[in-house]
Structure 1
Amino acid sequence: CKSCHFSSQPFHDSSSQALGHFSCPLTYPLVSLLSPYRIMQTLIHLLKCNIGTGLLGLPLAMKNAGLLVGPISLLAIGILTVHCMVILLNCAHHLSQRLQKTFVNYGEAMMYSLETCPNAWLRTHSVWGRYTVSFLLITTQLGFCSVYFMFMADNLQQMVEEAHMTSNNCQPRKILVLTPILDIRFYMLTILPFLVLLVFIQNLRMLSIFSTLANVTTLGSMALIFEYIIQEIPDPSSLPLMASWKTFLLFFGTAIFTFEGVGTVLPLKNQMKHPQQFSFVLYLGMSVVIILYICLGTLGYMKFGSNTQASITLNLPNCWLYQSVKLMYSIGIFFTYALQFQVPAEIIIPFVISQVSESWTLFIDLSVRTALVCLTCVSAILIPRLDLVISFVGSVSSSALALIIPPLLELITFYAEDMSCVTITKDIIISILGLLGCVFGTYQALYELIQPINHSITNSTGVYA
């Protein structure tokens, strides 16, 4: 699509054509409305792109970092991420003006930047810059979808297997280890056919309805979660201010994972009627996101302490009110899966379809969609550890897209235009920090994954506390 990285094929829709633009599946629900509301639409969508399952894992992330180090580190990572978003926007704007193009997406920005860099080898292989960004986007989004599988299965398992003990009395959970009646993988396989049918829906208006429903359920469940955790917070003096450096690496991966919207800032800006207003939207929206992250992560850890689970929903009381929270958030994540899934689908499917005859187009389209959903399910089945998969995906892909590539992109784009030594040093430091976090965070997540399931019982989603 001309305005984003999601596909080389435009998404035709009568309402979007009436407004004089094409729309992509991730931005359609908000940008296809009337222009007077465009700023508010963009702000809401920016918030939605950054509020997902990673948010619910922040209390455990704070436990992995410490009560003092966690909030400070999350604030620092948030500031760096927003700064890298601004760098990406500036580079894309500069390249679009230089090349006289209307829009430049993330992958194109990397490719066009490499085409003009001083190194001859990089100029010759500039297209690999676009391939690399596309690969990272596919990996990240499929990682998100795999996490969604685990999140829904974890909450479904807890709701079903504790249904006989659910009451109207919303008392704090007692420390209790339950032997699961059915394996968590059974619940993943139960969800699989419904998600396959969901991703078959390609009608943009239908996806917009699902997006609205996801927004409503997510907002309602978040309000109830905050209402509970602010009640009677225990004395936090017994909680460590600083955790082990090994668990801090897991914190880094989770923190980066939560900032899911770095790949959508360019499409959102390009769809605005007045793109120059996007800076205000970005700073306002991301300020709200960072404050929300710090508050939920810190208060959640203070509330549940050492019993903090991989998702805060697993710590909620076993009563009908908070069981409904798990159900509402799971419904929101279920419909959000279709929106996140469109990113890799619209990159992969057009390429695959181009290799076959027209008579096979529909069959191949549905087959690829089914295969991709099954791939995310298999990944979740093989590694049913929600906290570690979040950390792994954040360390491997999200850190590259959010922290490593944007500073390098700025160096390549503006190096020939007399960049200051301060800017060059700053970009190098940010990229090195992102690379170190990527390498060591990935190593620690893999190390934890190969350990026996009881290696860290409080981090296991198979245990109910």
Structure 2
Amino acid sequence: NFVEIALVLTYFVGNAVYVVFITESITKLLAFFYKDAESWYPYFIVCIMVLLILCCQIRELKHLVPFSFIANTTMIIAFGITLYYIFYGIKEVKLSDTKLANDISGIPSFFATVIFAMEGIGTIMPVENSLTKSQFIGCPGVLNIAMIMVVSLYTSIGFFGYLRYGDGTEATITKNLPSEEIPAQVVQVSISLAVFFTFMLQFYVPIDITWRRIKDRIPEKRHNISQILLRTGAVIFVTGIAASAGHHLDALIDLVGAIFLSTLGLLVPAFIDIIMNWRNWGLLNWILYKNILIMGISLK
């Protein structure tokens, strides 16, 4: 159906963002040691593709748990060092030299980036279904606690990162770190590992959906080779999107957030809510107009 197709495309294109991010991080790291590293960008993508093809053959979600732990650990290390660089140099910043507000034309890009950063539309329901007690929504609730932590972390990095680097802030803050210093190099390695292993986790969702749709049409004795070919083809497809995007990481993030995640996270839930409940609301119920407003925002 439409939702599953949209979900698969969302995760595939979202994973392409991860490939671009990993490639740019590796390129920045090696550019300090080798001046020609920038020209090696296509070869880095191919190498990453080969590694992903091998690693993405893991089919059981429980076997991905150790990789999730590694990703979280390395991400914490990267965030910690990044915050150190941000706050260490922030005392040198003069507010008079910093543009504190942007014009209205940047708002769509802002919303697209925020939606990309905080949408976990494919993993929210599996997490809720796996809970032994109904503590997903409510106070405190798993969702509320997780969102408070995520929003606080992203807001801190975004606000203080821009305050530190101003208009020179890159699409990813790690590109602003000095490549010649070892802690900054540790950040590049840590963030690359974290995103690489996150790719494996995010890759599970679209492959699981696709496989459930096609496995009954394939003889059981060919399931293994079919899984291998499906996963290999999907990684090649995602890597192709990443290669097409080139160095335009910010544009790709905006694309995923504005088209794919806004559709799944805003348009579809509001539309389904209207279809299911509009008879009970009537034409004067505020929820109806709230959902229409959300749908309108998602289409902007």
TM-score w.r.t. the length of structure 2 is 0.91
Does residue 235 in structure 1 map to residue 99 in structure 2?
A: no
Q: Which residue of 2 aligns with 1:274?
A: 133
- For the residue of structure 2 that corresponds to 1:263, the secondary structure is coil
Alignment match of 1:317 (pick from 178, 190, 195): 178
Q: Which residue of 1 aligns with 2:10?
A: 140
Does residue 218 in structure 1 map to residue 97 in structure 2?
A: no
Q: Which residue of 2 aligns with 1:344?
A: 206
- Residue by residue over 1:271-328, the C-alpha shift from the partner in whole angstroms, topping out at 9 and shown as x without a partner, is 1111145322222221222122211111111111121112111111221111011101
Does residue 403 in structure 1 map to residue 273 in structure 2?
A: no
**Residues 30 and 37, structure 2, Cα contact 8 Å, conserved in 1:** no
Moved over 4 A (4+): 178-181
Q: Which moved more, 1:331-340 or 1:231-240?
A: 231-240
Alignment match of 2:160 (pick from 287, 294, 299): 299
- AA aligned opposite 1:352: I
Does residue 393 in structure 1 map to residue 269 in structure 2?
A: no
**Residues 143 and 376, structure 1, Cα contact 8 Å, conserved in 2:** yes
1:121-160 paired onto structure 2 within 5 Å: 131-160=1-30
Alignment match of 1:202 (pick from 59, 66, 90): 59
Does residue 335 in structure 1 map to residue 197 in structure 2?
A: yes
Q: Which residue of 1 aligns with 2:297?
A: 433
Q: CA deviation at 1:248?
A: 2.9
Root mean square deviation, CA, Å? 1.8
TM-score w.r.t. the length of structure 1 is 0.60
Higher RCO (C-alpha 8 Å, min separation 6): 2
- Counterpart CA distance in 1 for 2:136 and 2:20 is 38
- Residue by residue over 1:361-416, the C-alpha shift from the partner in whole angstroms, topping out at 9 and shown as x without a partner, is 21111001000000011111111111100110111111111121222222222212
Q: Residues 180 and 204 (structure 1 numbering): CA distance in 2 closer, same or farther, change over 3 Å?
A: closer
**Residues 20 and 249, structure 2, Cα contact 8 Å, conserved in 1:** yes
- Counterpart CA distance in 1 for 2:198 and 2:295 is 31
**Residues 61 and 204, structure 2, Cα contact 8 Å, conserved in 1:** no
Q: CA deviation at 1:252?
A: 2.1
1:58-97 paired onto structure 2 within 5 Å: none
Q: CA deviation at 1:180?
A: 4.9
- Counterpart CA distance in 1 for 2:218 and 2:60 is 23
- Residue by residue over 1:68-94, the C-alpha shift from the partner in whole angstroms, topping out at 9 and shown as x without a partner, is xxxxxxxxxxxxxxxxxxxxxxxxxxx
- Counterpart CA distance in 1 for 2:240 and 2:188 is 23
Larger helix fraction of residues: 2
Q: CA deviation at 1:194?
A: 0.5
- For the residue of structure 2 that corresponds to 1:200, the secondary structure is coil
Q: CA deviation at 1:428?
A: 1.1
- Counterpart CA distance in 2 for 1:331 and 1:322 is 14
Determine what percentage of the aligned residue pairs are the same residue: 28
Q: Which residue of 1 aligns with 2:122?
A: 263
Does residue 355 in structure 1 map to residue 220 in structure 2?
A: no
> Which runs of 5 or more residues in structure 2 are unaligned?
none
- AA aligned opposite 1:245: I
Q: Residues 248 and 278 (structure 1 numbering): CA distance in 2 closer, same or farther, change over 3 Å?
A: closer
Q: Residues 205 and 406 (structure 1 numbering): CA distance in 2 closer, same or farther, change over 3 Å?
A: closer
> Which runs of 5 or more residues in structure 1 are unaligned?
1-130, 165-177, 437-465
- Counterpart CA distance in 1 for 2:286 and 2:215 is 47
- AA aligned opposite 1:152: I
